[in-house]
Amino acid sequence: MSGSNSSDASFARAPGLSPEAGGDHPLGLTVHNLPEAGSAVAHAQNTRHGRWKMLAVLLVCAAPVIASYFTYYVVRPDGRRNYGELVQPQRPLPDLATATLDGALGQLPALKGQWLLVSVAGGACDAQCQQHLYLQRQLRESVGKEKDRVDWVWLVTDAAPLPADLSAALQKATVLRVDGGALAQWLEPAAGHALAEHLYLVDPMGNWMMRFPAGMDAAGAAKAKRDLERLLRASSSWDEAGRPGQP
């Protein structure tokens, strides 16, 4: 090939090089210096140090959350027991479609960023449903200045119209219609009970983490309040009122 002939001729004309017998030409080699072992080791060490620094930053950011949950779930120096049943493992909010009463569409994970007191019932809202709505409102109000960190949520599992006389009472509630069958894949009642018999608690990270006993009355609500207050105190170092990105 012409490229090969040209390359051979240039080798033959190079100063200090003479063709070998038989017309063969010497093979020119370029030797590249290898990096010194010391710099290669230093580079590897710097890479490891960078990874450890990144891990340390992540741990520092997560430490308040981890510490608050460790305090609530594990460290109980006074031997107190919680009234609500802890959900293990916690269950994150599913990508479940929602609709407001005026038809605006959304997704259930949009509720992240607040503590959520959740009730479940059909739109007709029987006596048990109305009792739950009353207790939700009272529990939220009872935590005083911390109430802005708590939302009370009614998940309506059908298309039935709501009683007209509830409108005023629900002004500060979040009321969303959801598919009841899909909701039952996330929330779960205690054995022998229905989904609508409980109140549920979801943390600001969007995890269902507590279920209050079925048929909760005023005395039970006072115990639920103590659970809620302890959780609000334990999370005060990392949780603030309002959802990120919202005024």
The amino acid present at 91, given as its one-letter code, is R
Confidence of residue 5 (pLDDT cuts 50, 70, 90): very low
Confidence of residue 50 (pLDDT cuts 50, 70, 90): low
Task: Round to whole Å and give the CA distance between 106 and 184.
Answer: 18
pLDDT reading at 196 higher than 70: yes
pLDDT value at position 33?
55
Confidence of residue 16 (pLDDT cuts 50, 70, 90): very low
Domain spans, the chain: 37-76, 85-235
pLDDT value at position 170?
96
Q: Which CATH class is domain 85-235?
A: alpha beta
Mean pLDDT of the chain: 81
Task: Round to whole Å and give the CA distance between 12 and 21.
Answer: 13
pLDDT value at position 64?
53
Two structure tokens written together for 85: 């049943």
Helix (H) or strand (E) holding 49: helix 37-73
Mean pLDDT for the stretch of residues 203-212: 97
pLDDT reading at 104 higher than 50: yes
- Closest among 43, 40, 16, 46 to 28, alpha carbons compared: 16
pLDDT reading at 25 higher than 60: no
pLDDT reading at 108 higher than 60: yes
* CB 98, CB 177: distance < 8 Å: yes
pLDDT reading at 245 higher than 80: no
* CB 225, CB 210: distance < 8 Å: no
Helix (H) or strand (E) holding 153: strand 150-156
Mean pLDDT for the stretch of residues 42-67: 60
